[in-house]
Structure 1
Amino acid sequence: MHPTLFKIKMPEFLSGIFGDYFTVHSYGFFIVLGAISGVTYLTIKTRKKYGLSFETINNFFLLILIAAFVGGKVFLFFENPSHYIDHPKGLIGGKGFVFYGSLLFAIPTMLLFFRKHKLPVLEMLDVMAIVTCIVHVFGRIGCFMAGCCYGIEWHGPLSVIFRDDECLAPLNTPLHPTQLYSVSLILTILIVLLIIQRRQAFKGQLFLSYLMLYAIGRSVVEIFRGDVSRGYVIDNFLSHSQFISLLVVVVAGYFYWKFYQKNRNSIQ
């Protein structure tokens, strides 16, 4: 829609260093909003309860962002290795991420941090499930503004047309608004998690529920995705993201059942 949010003309004495304009890109802007919102929620939920300082919380979030960036780029590379070997510059910069790569790199980073600081792992993962939803919603809005993660051609009532030359989506073509489908999916998951939180059966339930709900929803959204350069495990049938989603559902479902049974047996 609007990849560039706004530009500010730089003073002459700075234009030679930073260019003629200071440009704020929509994707980066919404990522920053999401990060601020996520840190705020994390601070409210953990600072008093676990005695975490602002510095510790900020360091934790910085580590997560680094892990997410690296993971997103690693998975992007493996979606099309030959392309990125020939065009390594495509991996540099903010454009192009694989969310599952970010998530799967962030999880072990979180676990190591929680154990190092002697924090209750499952309780903290439940908090991070909410934080992830908050950050992810803003990220997908940024995707919509930038035109990435676009849908297949569709002439239905909810179709969107990208006309800005800076957009990553095909221009002047009605497309499924898959970015907004993802926003709706994540907001729905967030509401479900908040409902579960009121009657939580076991620690870790929110995090495992998030993983399964997102994986299932993502598999559905994938049907309407049009950026086929992401590649397939089975051509035109099972995308990389759908394959990873299947694995996530199986693993998260196993642990959900295991923790549920353990809690149930302890009550009896």
Structure 2
Amino acid sequence: MRPLLFHIGPIPIRAYGLMIVIGFLCGLWLAIRRGKKENISKDFMMDLAFYLLLAALLGSKILHIIIFWHDYVAQLPELVRHPTELFTYLGSGLIFFGGLIAAVPIGILYIKKHGLPVWKIADIAAPSFPLAHGFGRLGCFLAGCCYGKPCDLPWAVTFNHPDSLAPMNVPLHPTQLYSAIFNFLVVVILLILTPYFKRYGQLFWTYVLLYSSGRFIIEFFRADPRGSLINGLLSTSQFIGLIIIFLAIGAQIWLARTGTVRN
């Protein structure tokens, strides 16, 4: 659609990066607001968000490198000739589940370091994750990445910008918008369900379960390279998502029996 929005002097402002920043700030605002109601300081939530962001970016990039290692090896000669391109190359190609897998242990360690209950903080932050992610998917739509399969539906989108990562002049499923709308819907669901859960951690794992299930379905409509397993039956994210779905169900059962009752 419009990968490059504008320039501030010589600095290009790209849609994907800008939407990630907007999503991060919106998610942080919501986490601070919810934390205040639970007597969690603003400074703690800001520091936690910073470390989670770093871990998520690193983890999502590492998983992308693991899946598409052959592409990275092929790019090495070009990067040697033009080393400044390394920052652009490393900034593209992120896989959400890699970020989630990396951010969870970092978050647990940081929360425990400050002597706070892990599942309580996880519940406070839970709606912030899909909120930030939803804006990130809007960035994907503007950049043309994470595009869908060809279709003839009334809401199909056609990318015609030369810098778009999607195939040009072909009606496609707007899978980026599917994902953005779904994430924003998850935010609403989590905010509504917040007062109904009796034990800490249940809200967080509800987010994990909802997101993984929705991602599994949306993946069927995507056509961008994502890696595949089981002879192409499942994408890498679908395979990981299935594992996380069963993990989330198990965590819900465990918390319902042994979790700390909310105050």
Q: Does 1:253 align with 2:241?
A: no
How many angstroms apart in 2 are the aligned matches of 1:182 and 1:51?
A: 31
Deviation at 1:47, TM superposition (A): 4.6
5 Å-filtered alignment, 1:166-245, equals 166-227=163-224, 229-245=225-241
Which of 23, 30, 39 is equivalent to 1:41? Answer: 30
Gaps of 5+ in 2: 80-85
Q: Is the contact between residue 208 and residue 252 of structure 1 (CA under 8 Å) also seen in structure 2?
A: yes
Deviation at 1:263, TM superposition (A): 5.8
Does 60-69 or 175-184 show the bigger shift?
60-69
Gaps of 5+ in 1: 11-20
The residue number in structure 1 matching 2:19 is 30
Counterpart residue type for residue 25 of structure 2: I
How many angstroms apart in 1 are the aligned matches of 2:36 and 2:259?
A: 27
The residue number in structure 1 matching 2:50 is 62
How many angstroms apart in 1 are the aligned matches of 2:37 and 2:115?
A: 15
Which of 126, 141, 146 is equivalent to 1:144? Answer: 141
The residue number in structure 2 matching 1:83 is 71
Q: Is the contact between residue 158 and residue 169 of structure 2 (CA under 8 Å) also seen in structure 1?
A: yes
Runs of 4+ in 1 over 3 A off after TM superposition: 47-51, 88-93
Which of 90, 108, 111 is equivalent to 1:111? Answer: 108
Deviation at 1:87, TM superposition (A): 2.2
Q: For 1:7, what is the secondary structure of its paired residue?
A: strand
Q: Does 1:71 align with 2:67?
A: no
How many angstroms apart in 2 are the aligned matches of 1:250 and 1:31?
A: 29
Deviation at 1:23, TM superposition (A): 1.9
Counterpart residue type for residue 63 of structure 2: F
How many angstroms apart in 2 are the aligned matches of 1:145 and 1:238?
A: 26
Mark the CA change 1:80 to 1:263 in structure 2 (over 3 Å): closer, same or farther. closer
Q: Is the contact between residue 38 and residue 131 of structure 1 (CA under 8 Å) also seen in structure 2?
A: yes
Counterpart residue type for residue 94 of structure 1: G
Q: Is the contact between residue 219 and residue 241 of structure 1 (CA under 8 Å) also seen in structure 2?
A: yes
Does 76-85 or 90-99 show the bigger shift?
90-99
Does 185-194 or 144-153 show the bigger shift?
185-194
Q: Is the contact between residue 218 and residue 242 of structure 1 (CA under 8 Å) also seen in structure 2?
A: yes
Normalised TM-score (structure 2):
0.90
Q: For 1:100, what is the secondary structure of its paired residue?
A: helix
The residue number in structure 1 matching 2:83 is none
RMSD: 1.9
Instruction: Give the percent of matched residue pairs that are identical in Structure 1 and Structure 2.
Output: 35
Deviation at 1:59, TM superposition (A): 2.6
Deviation at 1:143, TM superposition (A): 0.6
How many angstroms apart in 2 are the aligned matches of 1:127 and 1:48?
A: 9
Q: For 2:90, what is the secondary structure of its paired residue?
A: coil
Q: Is the contact between residue 115 and residue 121 of structure 1 (CA under 8 Å) also seen in structure 2?
A: yes
Counterpart residue type for residue 231 of structure 2: D
Q: For 2:41, what is the secondary structure of its paired residue?
A: coil
How many angstroms apart in 1 are the aligned matches of 2:40 and 2:226?
A: 43
Q: Is the contact between residue 50 and residue 119 of structure 1 (CA under 8 Å) also seen in structure 2?
A: no
Q: Does 1:125 align with 2:113?
A: no
Deviation at 1:235, TM superposition (A): 2.6
Mark the CA change 1:191 to 1:57 in structure 2 (over 3 Å): closer, same or farther. closer
